Amino acid sequence: MNIALFDLDNTLIKGDSDHEWGNFLVENNYVDKKSYKIKNDYFFEQYKKGVLCPKEFAKFSYEPLTKYDYENLLMMRKNFFKEKIKPLVLPKAQALIKKHRDNNDVIAIVTSTNSFISKISAEFFNINHLLASEPEFINNKFTGNLVGEPCYQDGKVSKVKEWIKNNKLKNSKDIYFYTDSHNDIKLLEFSTVPIAVDPDNILKKISIENNWNIISLR
């Protein structure tokens, strides 16, 4: 039995869930259009450069969750997935997940996108294990705070190690990890089968230097 870990954004889908969620909020007037779009684009650029402060981004991106009751948020998320995410799903990614499932591998999504937003994608791909950044949820309402460490860069490795321990998966043969982003270098190094998927320029260079597999799901 192997473990197959998948990044979500620009790996299983051809886009970024966090950025698209921000765009969805702006386009549907759930937030101030001008100021929110500027900050959303700013944080996305920081992420692509590898210099994002995940706690600062969490504070920004979780704040809208505090403005609406949970039932409204569920409706918003459903519409968001239908409008923004489902069109970005990659058929080759679905086939790759099926290949691992047919091999009886344990499959998980490991994403920096918060669990409320990414959960609906995990459900679509029928992946039960979701490792993500966790917004605090108390008395059926989001507080705007982050619980624990962000699932980002080194934080992804910590969450994966904890998950492996809690699920008694230490005897797994191989750990596959699929990602597009140089932000995931640490988890690629931790895995036994690191695979770059349509990688950004930095990850492509590092993958070539390390003789890591490079594939395309586009």
Active site residues: 7, 9
Instruction: Report the chain's C-alpha Rg in angstroms.
Output: 17
Contact indicator for 108, 3 with CB cutoff of 8 Å: yes
Partners of 146 in the beta sheet?
135
- Which is nearest to 46 in space by CA: 132, 185, 152? 152
Instruction: Sort strands 129-138 and 141-147 into parallel, antiparallel or unpaired.
Output: antiparallel
Query: Distance between CA 94 and CA 124 in Å, rounded?
Result: 10
Residue 108, classed as helix, strand or coil, is strand
- Torsion on CA atoms 95, 130, 141, 76, rounded to nearest 10: -10
Query: Distance between CA 183 and CA 150 in Å, rounded?
Result: 13
Cα–Cα distances in Å, from 208 out to 86, 174, 203, 211? 32, 21, 9, 5
